[in-house]
Chain A
Amino acid sequence: MNFVLSLVFSSLAVLVVVLIPWIGVGALDLTTLFGVVIPYAALATFIVGIIVRVLNWGRSPVPYRIPTTAGQMWSFPWIKSNPIDNPKGAGGVVVRMLFEVLTFRSLFRNTRLEYRRVEGVPRINYEWEKWLWLAAILFHYSFLVIFLRHFRFFMDPVPGFVTLLQNLDGFMQMGAAPFNGFGLPGVYITDMLLMAAATWLLLRRILYSQLRYLSLPADYFPLMLILSLGFSGMLMRYLFRVDIVKVKELVIGLFKFHPVVPDGIGVLFFIHLFILCVLIAYFPFSKLMHLGWHLFKPHKEPLQQQPLCPACESLELPR
């Protein structure tokens, strides 16, 4: 399983994901299946899957309190401790976790190895490397904004924060080059950022030899899926417009459990929707569950008490 095979396999998988609704709706007109049945099934899989996964994690105890300490411990009053990286109590833990979740702080620490030899003698340096952090943070926040923006399709009337977000996101009022001034809607910054970040996250897996070595189809597939999701969405917005009013009718119907499938929604929408369905149905079974991990974070807990947790008792360690 080298990277070529992984890429081919993942691309084929994504291609199949695109072709299924294309044929299913475009040729066979199965709009109810793709507009109602599959979205419900996917959403159910997503929710139930995550719950089962998290409950399954929760079933196993955390017998030891063994955080990686990343700063000075709390000791003497005359030694300055690091309450975030080596928290003493719950407050520090909360701050540490918030920093991790909101700013990807550990990733920000990243460095890059620079190994050289001068006349046979190694010279090792640890260089600045924030690109992974930058791509990760842009990717996740753009995704969040785009998700929130989509509420204008889910809700009627459109909530104020969505409109606000939309205006902020589109404030640059660019057209989609090279079609500036051809009556195209303003380009959202987050669309561009998401695509750029996801492209970089994919490219680095191919360009950096260490990442090329360790990447699996399970790494390429979700990125490609997300890229196709973004691409199909952007196509709908910027080039092949679909009937937004009808789309909204469908989506609101879904959320009110009164699904109706209006005629005349372009097939592109069903492709976009199906990719999303695959993504969320795939979510609980994949590495994308790294999101759920933040519910636990046992290794970011405070160190200086080692309580005898009830779970530890069940370990029955032999004498």
Chain B
Amino acid sequence: MAETPKPVQTADIEHTRPLFEQGWLNKFSEIKPGIHCYGAKPKNTEAVGMPFPKDWSPTEEDWHLPENWREIFLQGFRERLDKYRTLKVFMDICVRCGACADKCHFFIGSGDPKNMPVMRAELLRSIYRGEFTAAGKLLGKFGGGRKLTLETLKELWYYLYQCTECRRCSLFCPYGIDTAEVTILGRELTNLLGLNIDWIAGPVANCNRTGNHLGIQPHAFVDMIDFFVDEIEEVTGIRVEPDFNRKGAEILFLTPSGDVFADPGTYTAMGYLMLFHYLKDLGLDITWSTYASEGGNFGFFTSHEMAKRLNAKMYHEAKRLGVKYIIGGECGHMWRVLNQYMDTWNGPADFLEVPKSPITGTVFENAKSTKMIHLVEFTADLIKHNKLKLDPSRNDNKVVTFHDSCNTARGMGFLEEPRYVLNSVCNNFYEMPPETIREQTFCCGSGSGLNAGEDMELRMRGGLPRANAVKFVHEKHGVNMLACICAIDRAVLPASMDYWVPGVDVTGLHELVANALIMDGEKDRTTDLRGEPLPGMEDEEDV
């Protein structure tokens, strides 16, 4: 594994280009360790029937491509142009105005000119022009065209897997060109040749087999939750009683498996459990599933087909259990899929009902079509109706800022609800600068399947703009806690904070909710869910 440079070295970034240099059409980038992820292992691609499983490494000369790889790629490209009007138009109309150029976190963090969103798309566009358009064929490089060669393929691959599909660029594009969609379809093309990365292919294979990315089997899933139940009892003195796969429950709860697996997501999962327990007496009838035990969807980073396949279990499980509707946990790309694709892929969910809060009676009209709501909006509604007894001062030792996940922000417009909840459960909340939050939010730097270990340098570079905004509020307001509603954020931001802004922790929203939640019959709480002393309890004996 490549060694990750020190922050001072990483920060030495040159964004301007020399006056004279070779044009990009003739100059290919070298695939560097620390920036790329490992190639998909054959057992993982084989497990889901993806083509051309093989042992391969991006840095090796030979990618073990099939004999006719060019035809496969070009045929796949043609098919996608016929399937997706957007792709076709995006290939034709970009005027290269450069508005997107300095909006990408990977460009900001690396200065690599081919990480400008326009260039990422141009790598595919140049092949489109060189192989499909008359001008490109006739004029060659003067027409901006490139032939599909091993070199162009490798370079395209390298940059397709340096995009987290966050869509910040598309916000600034005068035509709304969605580079994320170009990346999504470009990655589909690489998958036709067996060229996925293992950090995506592994979770996909797992999810296909066990229902979650981590390959947790049903009994182990229950074990993990049981462990949280013990932890919660230790902190609150209350034994919560979640149940699993219960037919006839009113609501099915789905959340990313990352939350049951690793800190600090686990505390968020504990938060869910405590909230559900609290609401039980008020009439909440909810069940977890050990089969649909994953909210996220790494298939979405593979192909539309794979995403659809992995997504199908959500409605399937809802139908099997006979629930009325689904609540989803805090996750990023999970919500992009749910909000923008699920209905088209696996709907209509006419066997479900429009979500209605059993406690407040609020009908979630905005989820009329998908029948699935975000736990944060459910909680926001509860707080608005004064259904939760909260003591925000229990979070007083946390000075919090909020990171909008790119997917919930730019794929939903889910901006105010999390802030409303946050403001209700903590007293010290400060926003980061406006160019870095809400619809203009920066990616964590490791989304869309790039949260591996071997590409740590890339992740730290991509995480720089977010970390820099956190640093700003850390220095100005003493922010020490970064709240988010995305499991990948919770998995990757701690590393990026340690690297760029030491002293800032990461939390899910429902961890803070659970800290503040006053449960009936609880003991005098002395610590928060992490076992850290609550404000004013620092001197307690049994801390």
Contacts and interface: CB of A to CB of B under 8 A. Distances in A.
Interface string B366-387: 1011100000010011001000
Contact of A75 (B11, B95, B344, B366): B366
Nearest to B465: A124
Interface residues of A, number: 91
B341 interface: yes
A36 B173 CA distance: 40
A216 B122 CA distance: 11
SS class of chain B's interface: helix, strand, loop or mixed? helix
A111 interface: yes
Interface string A51-69: 0010011111111111111
Contacts of A63: 83-84, 344
A245 B455 CA distance: 70
A1 B25 contact: yes
A112 B439 contact: no
Contacts of B82: 59-60
B51 to A, nearest CB: 13
Contact of B468 (A58, A67, A122, A290): A122
Contacts of A136: 97, 174
A122 B501 CA distance: 11
A154 interface: no
Given A69-B410, A299-B170, A1 B26 contact: yes
B86 interface: yes
A210 B345 contact: no
Interface in A70-116: 70-76, 78-82, 85-86, 100, 104, 106-107, 109-113, 115
B172 A110 contact: yes
Contact of A106 (B16, B133, B176): B176
A6 B21 CA distance: 13
B93 A290 contact: yes
B42 interface: no
Interface stretch (B140-148, B323-331, B524-532): B140-148
B136 to A, nearest CB: 10
Contacts of B414: 73
Interface residues of B, number: 100
Interface in A208-230: 208-219
A64 B305 contact: no
B181 interface: yes
B23 A115 contact: no
Interface stretch (A176-184, A255-263, A300-308): A300-308
Contacts of B412: 69, 73, 303
B8 A120 contact: yes
B348 interface: yes
Contacts of A23: none
A304 to B, nearest CB: 6
Given A1-B26, A78-B384, A73 B85 contact: no
B386 to A, nearest CB: 13
Nearest to A127: B435
Nearest to B348: A308
Interface stretch (A159-167, A234-242, A310-318): A310-318
B21 A2 contact: yes
B96 A215 contact: yes
B167 interface: yes
B99 A132 contact: yes
A147 interface: no
Contacts of A78: 384
Contacts of B84: 60-63
A219 B95 contact: yes
Counting chain A CB atoms within 10 Å of each CB, the highest count among B92, B172, B174, B181 belongs to: B174
Interface stretch (B67-75, B111-119, B209-217, B389-397): B111-119
Interface of A: 1-6, 9, 53, 56-76, 78-82, 85-86, 100, 104, 106-107, 109-113, 115, 117, 120-124, 126, 132, 136, 204, 208-219, 285-287, 289-290, 292-293, 296-300, 303-306, 308-309, 312, 315, 317-319
Given A75-B416, A111-B102, A210-B15, 18 more contacts: A1-B23, A2-B20, A64-B340, A66-B181, A70-B439, A76-B380, A78-B384, A81-B413, A85-B413, A85-B439, A107-B174, A109-B172, A124-B465, A210-B101, A214-B116, A296-B85, A297-B176, A305-B369
Interface of B: 8, 11-13, 15-26, 81-89, 92-99, 101-103, 108, 113, 116, 118-119, 122, 133-135, 141-144, 167, 170-176, 178, 181, 304-305, 308-309, 339-345, 347-348, 362, 364, 366, 368-370, 377, 380-381, 384, 409-417, 420, 433, 435-436, 439, 464-465, 468-469
